[in-house]
Each structure stands twice: as C-alpha cells, then as structure tokens.
Structure 1
Amino acid sequence: MDRSDPLALHLPDARATEALARRLAPRLEPGFVLYLSGDLGAGKTTFVRALLRALGFGGRVKSPSFSLLESYDLSKFRLYHFDFYRFDSGQDWLDAGFEEFIGAPNVAIVEWPERAAGTLPASDLHLFLRFAGDTAGEERIVEAVAGTERGRACLKALAPTDERC
C-alpha cells in the first residue's frame, strides 16, 4: 500500500503531545506497528509514556535508549518499545533478533526506525516529531504518515475536528 499524504499537527507544549498520544491509544490493537522519528529531545519518549498511561499502565516507563527494548504487559496486548538510536545499520536490527516481537499479538513502537532502514517491517503509522522554530522550546510539529489502512483510520482520528472525514 502507498503511504498517505502527511497530516501535519501543531503541538504547542508537552500537554498537547500527551493529548495526541491519548487520542491514538484506543486505536492500537495487536499487530500495530508505530514508528517515531525526530531529533533528540523532540518528545518521542514523552509520547510513548503518555500512550502507555492512556492504555492503563501505571508503572515506571523507562526510555529504552540503553537497553534497546522495554516491554509492557497491558490488558489487551503486550507493547514493545524499541529505541534504535545506538544502531549503526539495519544489520544491528537483524543481529539483535527482535523480529519476533513485532507483529500480532504484540504492539511495537520503534524510536529511530531510520537506524534500521531496509530491514524493519512496514509501519501502520509513522510520526515525525520536530521542533517548531529554531529553539528547543516545548512547541512541536508532528507529521503523521499512514502506511496501511489501519494507519489511515488512525490519521482520521488524529486529525483536528475540523479536518476529520
């Protein structure tokens, strides 16, 4: 399937990033794959933390920057949160042996998927988070791109009310 046209969203602060995660949370289902790209500090882990809270996880949410993978047992599925920042190539992904964690019955969220380009399965939804403007303030722009029909349904749910189909 062709990727969708990007949906651009303005997030004025961390609360808006968290609200976006809460809107996406009820649409996750086993097999869902979400990619998160963006500069260091752009809000990828903040987004995942809010998503997990919205899914009912009350424990500590750690960034997998050093461990590469954190897993969370939720009521409807297990969520695997990957961070490939330290990968040098797609071969690192293949050598890590994480393939079994992506796909049903799990949900996978991958930060820095571009570090394993060409070796990862396609995502349902890819969010590109970037700073709005020249400073590292709280304001962000998110571009959301769907890679599947399931991802397209998520785009509709994430669109501002006046843009929903």
Structure 2
Amino acid sequence: MAEQFVSNSEEETEALGRRLGEILDQSTVVAFTGDLGAGKTAFTRGLAKGLDIPDRVTSPTFTIVNEYEGGRLPLFHFDMYRLSSADELFDIGWEDYLARGGVCAVEWSENVREALDRHTIWVEIRRGESQDQRVIQIKGVDL
C-alpha cells in the first residue's frame, strides 16, 4: 500500500503533509527518507498544521529533537542525521517519546531503521524533473 504524489512547490509539499497530519492518531511514527534539501522539513511543517500545532516548525539538526505542543496531538520532530545507530536513538529517550502519545516525525530515518516498527508510516521524498518538483511516496497509510 504505497501512494505516489508529485509536488511542484514547497507549498504543495506542505499541503500534502497537512493532509497526512489531519488523519494521524496518537503514537504514530512518520519516518522520512530523502536527500538534504529534498523537503522533509517542509512536509513536517504541513504535518504540524494538520495536527493544529500553532508553532513554527524548524529543522532539529542541532538539537536532535524539537517538541511542539498545543495541537490536537504533540509533535516530536527528530533529525537522526548525526546518529550512527539505533542504540543512540534509545540513549536520547526514544521510548519515552513514543509513550507520550504524540506523533514522532523522524528525518534521516535510514540511520535508525532497525528501531522503527512495522506500523511506521514511510515518506520518501526525491527530487523531480525540475528544481522545485518533488516525488513523494507514502507507505503505511492511505491519504
């Protein structure tokens, strides 16, 4: 069950993220793969809007995780770029975040793939034919 979408702008990528955010339940993991600058954070901004989170979402590159409250569900936005194994994920309290019942959005999920369970929603974002175009494949949920 995989769906593929084509986005022609950052706004369209955010809108797709918002659609996903609107249907998510608590304790959901959304795992992203895609090159640097592919649109993972833009998608996550939309995800936050779909969860009714009023805060501005930014990349957690230097903090590993940003927490956003105040919406329908909390959002925990992880950047695993600097982690080298799933063991490090557990060292930062992954299980505690899962237990808090929010949505965990995980950028660079390929670095911790073995820690993610079979219920994970996978979002692959790749560059398309033009500068702004993105091809986005979503597995694990129907939009």
Residue 48 of structure 2 aligns with an amino acid whose one-letter code is: L
Tell me how many residue pairs correspond in the alignment: 143
Match of 2:138 among 134, 144, 148: 144
Partner of 1:132: 128
Match of 1:53 among 33, 49, 55: 49
Q: Measure the CA separation in 2 of the matches of 1:46 and 1:9.
A: 15
Whether contact under 8 Å (1:22, 1:51) holds in the other structure is yes
Q: Measure the CA separation in 1 of the matches of 2:18 and 2:113.
A: 28
Matched-pair identity in %: 31
Q: Measure the CA separation in 2 of the matches of 1:58 and 1:140.
A: 26
Classify the secondary structure of the residue corresponding to 2:90: helix
Q: Cα offset for 1:61?
A: 1.7
| Structure 2 length-normalised TM | 0.89
Structure 2's unaligned 5+ residue stretches are none
- The structure whose Rg is larger is 1
Q: Measure the CA separation in 2 of the matches of 1:62 and 1:127.
A: 18
Whether contact under 8 Å (1:12, 1:140) holds in the other structure is yes
| Structure 1 length-normalised TM | 0.78
Match of 1:32 among 23, 28, 31: 28
- Deviation track 1:124-160 (CA, whole Å, cap 9, x = no partner) reads 3111000013x6x1100011111xxxx3xxx1x2xxx
RMSD: 1.8
Q: Cα offset for 1:74?
A: 2.8
Structure 1's unaligned 5+ residue stretches are 158-165
